[in-house]
Amino acid sequence: MMFKPQTVAVLGATGSIGQNTLNVIAQHPERFTVFALSGHSNMVQLAADIIRFKPRCAVVPDAARYRQLLELLPDQKCSVLIGEQALVEIASAPEVDTVMAAIVGAAGLKSSLAAAHAGKKLLLANKESMVVAGALLMDAVATSQAVLLPIDSEHNAIFQCLPADQSQIGVESILLTASGGPFRNTPMAQMFDVTPEQAIAHPTWSMGRKISVDSASLMNKGLELIEACWLFNVSPEKIEVVVHPQSVIHSMVRYVDGSVLAQMGSPDMRTPISYGLAYPDRMTSGSEPLAFSQLLQLNFDRPDRARFPCLRLAEEAMAEGGTVPAVLNAANEMSVAAFLNLEIGFMDIPRINEQVMTRLGRGAVESIDQLLEVDRAARAQAAVQIQALR
């Protein structure tokens, strides 16, 4: 079959989603041309990928990384750009058809929004941008007719299980599955002393450090609940979190006639990434076929909101709406970083998140600049709380 190659920009190319994306693209060289790659700290990886995929440009955060990258690329034809504005330019460049938004945290917000405004096919892994600015992002998609495809495995599953026109016809509710993370059965008393190594050792998925800690605290499920409300235009009461430790069902949609549609597969992000890249077609991803003969059982349970207060905080933040989810997200980025830095304990993460959420003011969402200001204020407040615990 002949394809007009899709031109792709991979933002956050050096991370877990970015590397999985390049792995899928490499399996289908006739379908994709890589236009741009961005990396934040791992210049060795970025240089190797530039040599391999020959993008027209690359983006790094600062002059030091720029020099480091150029040393690794003696005779490169790739123009290297610096800073957040360059990410925005690449996300909206006329040459680009598809943007993989795989930066971690609110740092991906401006570039995700730029891709939406520019009407790109936007493959959204960067869930934090939806949590912080769902109203603005969904507005931009609607106005520009961008094609927004969720890459988060749960949301990709829900997208696949909804009616093909993404209408809500006959939809009763959404069942958002959660593995439960590594501490699902850890005695409560031990939860205060768990280490970053234990927290990032996820039982079923291999991911970046921040999302791995979020999965252990169930903040990831909270962020995903908020993400799902925006993506699928539903209220939080229409979403039920179901703990499913095997991570074989990636989420489900319940219909009024009693049908429940599930999307299943091996826990491998290359499946949702391939779905997004090939959409509306399908193509191979390299993931292992699900072997039903080896699947002993599928288990389901309710989430424990007392053990995992972050899930409750996210539910409260979404119910309050406005700028509150942005506050929670910023507080969480700070508390997770402090935990990974051994400055605070694991159970201090929900504590700090809640303190910041209670202390900061609330308001309706007005603009991106306002949200960035809220993000800054919440980070400053979180820094004070973290300092007080050290």
Give the interface with Mg ion as residue ranges (CB under 5 A).
Answer: 152-154
Residue number with CB closer to ligand NAD (120 or 250): 250
Single residue of 37, 43, 113, 125 touching ligand NAD by CB under 6 A: 125
18 touches which of ligand NAD, Mg ion, none (CB within 5 to 8 A by kind)? ligand NAD
CB atoms within 10 A of CB 271: 24
Nearest Cα residue to 97 out of 146, 49, 54, 149: 146
Q: Pick the piece of the chain touching ligand NAD (CB under 6 A) from 142-150, 185-193, 204-212, 251-259.
A: 204-212
Nearest approach, Cβ of residue 154 and Mg ion (Å): 5
Question: Two tokens at 220?
Answer: 């990831």
272 touches which of ligand NAD, Mg ion, none (CB within 5 to 8 A by kind)? none
- Our CA angle for 111, 116, 151, nearest 5°, is 80
Residue number with CB closer to Mg ion (32 or 232): 232
Residue number with CB closer to Mg ion (58 or 229): 229
Q: Which positions from 16 through 35 interact with ligand NAD, judged by CB under 6 A?
A: 16-18
Question: How far, in Å, CA of 20 to CA of 26, rounded?
Answer: 10
Single residue of 25, 73, 99, 107 touching ligand NAD by CB under 6 A: 107
When CB distances to ligand NAD are compared, the closest residue is 15
Long-range contacts of 373-381 (CB under 8 A, 24+ apart): 374/323, 374/326, 374/327, 374/330, 375/106, 375/132, 375/326, 375/329, 375/330, 376/330, 378/326, 378/327, 378/328, 378/329, 378/330, 378/331, 378/334, 379/330, 379/331, 379/333, 379/334, 381/331, 381/355, 381/356
Q: Does 336 bind ligand NAD (CB under 6 A)?
A: no
Question: How far, in Å, CA of 77 to CA of 374, rounded?
Answer: 40
**Residue 231 contacts residue 155 (beta carbons within 8 Å):** yes
Nearest approach, Cβ of residue 112 and ligand NAD (Å): 10
Q: Does 137 bind ligand NAD (CB under 6 A)?
A: no
Residue number with CB closer to Mg ion (122 or 225): 225
Q: By CB under 6 A, name the binding residues for ligand NAD.
A: 12-18, 39-41, 61, 102-104, 107, 125-128, 152, 205, 207-208, 210-211, 269
